[in-house]
Structure 1
Amino acid sequence: MEGDGKRAGEFSYRVLSIKEQKRLPGSLRNWLEEVKQRRGVHLFRHRGDLYLMISAGMKPNPGHRLELVGIKKDGGEPGFLIREVAPEPGKMHPQVITFPCLVIRVKGPVPRVLNTSGEIFTRGVMEADHEMKKTIESPKD
């Protein structure tokens, strides 16, 4: 993994900046545009790498965002710990539709994605490949 990727047990990862996302192959950029509108954890395999798109779905202003706050072991499995941040009460934001998301490139096993209370971020997972798309369910607790 290039750049300042991080290791977390059995997998390594890198959160991609907006600039890095713009340099991704066209098929991957198109997929990111499509799935960022749907809340959930979406997977895309491309040339040996796994890309996770963690999306909060459509929000009414840019005060909403997602943050990767750490790695958590959940039942012996490593997982990304995600915080969903809402706008500060009373703070003014332009009324512009946004799609808060994180794009993470992962090498190794697929980590779970958990919210800050330790629950699975979402149960529905979308996996895409160049030839096929299918929906799979996250493991049940």
Structure 2
Amino acid sequence: MKKRTTKTFIAGICTGVALMSAVGFSYAALTKIDVSTKPVSFTIEGKEIKPSDKEQQYFNGKQYVPASFIHQDTTYVPLRFIAERLGFQVGYDAAGNTISLKEKNMAEKEMKFQVLYPLQDAQSVIASPIQQWFDSHKKQEFTGTMKGEDGLYAAITRGQKPNGGYGVEVVGVTEQANKVIVKVKYTNPQPGKMYTQVITYPATLVKIPHTDKEVHFEAVN
């Protein structure tokens, strides 16, 4: 195993926009550290990926650097190399010394959805397990999903309300690289307007195609 001392190794890689993953690891500029280099291979879901066209090297935008090194029994690898292959975009704000991760910019794919409650189609039939699951959450504030045989069901409930004027509606469902977003519009009573004084349970239930991606609920105006 070959050892070498690297001066500001992390800072140099950040400058080259490689960005090393180092949770809980912070060194001031110009700090020297001893590291060990050891050949490693990278796989994602069983498929091997190469950091560059040079063996065990990563190109940080300016030069080739080791694709990994070991410091205090922890292996460090270029964050950009791994993150971009998982569908994320890496950014570095030099002024704030901040590394950011976000999904790669991509055109959102609109997903079809069917509103099952409030009833939109007299022909719609909700399977008993789905209906029971939905009913069990209508008296509380809740967002969640349940897999059915014919699709994925998403419920948004607002719990018990003292009068009319409260509502909830799914206005769109979009698919991104790593997740599905259910866009939800909430309405509340308007000041000064009269509403029926009756207990209500605003809720909605929609069905979307099966997906293995994580489902997020996002409030929109």
Band the TM-score falls in, shorter-chain normalisation: 0.5 to 0.7
Match of 1:70 in 2: 172
Change (3 A) 1:85 1:10: closer
Q: Does 1:82 align with 2:184?
A: yes
Partner residue, 1:121: none
Q: Which moved more, 1:17-26 or 1:105-114?
A: 17-26
* Residue aligning to 2:133: 31
Query: Displacement, 1:12?
Result: 3.4
Length, aligned pairs only = 110
Q: Which AA in structure 1 matches 2:220?
A: T
**Larger Cα-atom Rg:** 2
Q: Identity over aligned residues, as a percent?
A: 24
Q: Which contiguous aligned blocks of 4+ residues in structure 1 show a shift greater than 4 angstroms?
A: 71-76
Q: How many angstroms does 1:80 deviate by?
A: 1.9
The verdict on how the C-alpha distance between 1:114 and 1:75 changes in structure 2, with shifts beyond 3 A counting, is farther
The answer to whether the 8 Å contact 2:181/2:215 transfers is yes
Partner in structure 2 of residue 114 of structure 1: 218
State the TM-score, normalized to the length of structure 2: 0.42
Distance 1:29 1:76, change over 3 A: closer
The structural deviation recorded for 1:94 is 1.8
Report the equivalent of 1:122. Answer: none
RMSD value over aligned CA atoms?
A: 2.9
Is 1:9 aligned with 2:109? Answer: yes
Task: Give TM-score, length-normalised by structure 1.
Answer: 0.62
Corresponding position of 2:202? 100
Q: Which residue of 2 aligns with 1:123?
A: none
The answer to which structure, 1 or 2, has the higher relative contact order (CA under 8 A, 6+ apart) is 1
Alpha-carbon deviation of 1:10? 7.5
Retained in 1: the 8 A contact 2:160–2:202? yes
Which residue matches 2:64? none
**Gaps (5+ residues) in structure 2?**
1-107
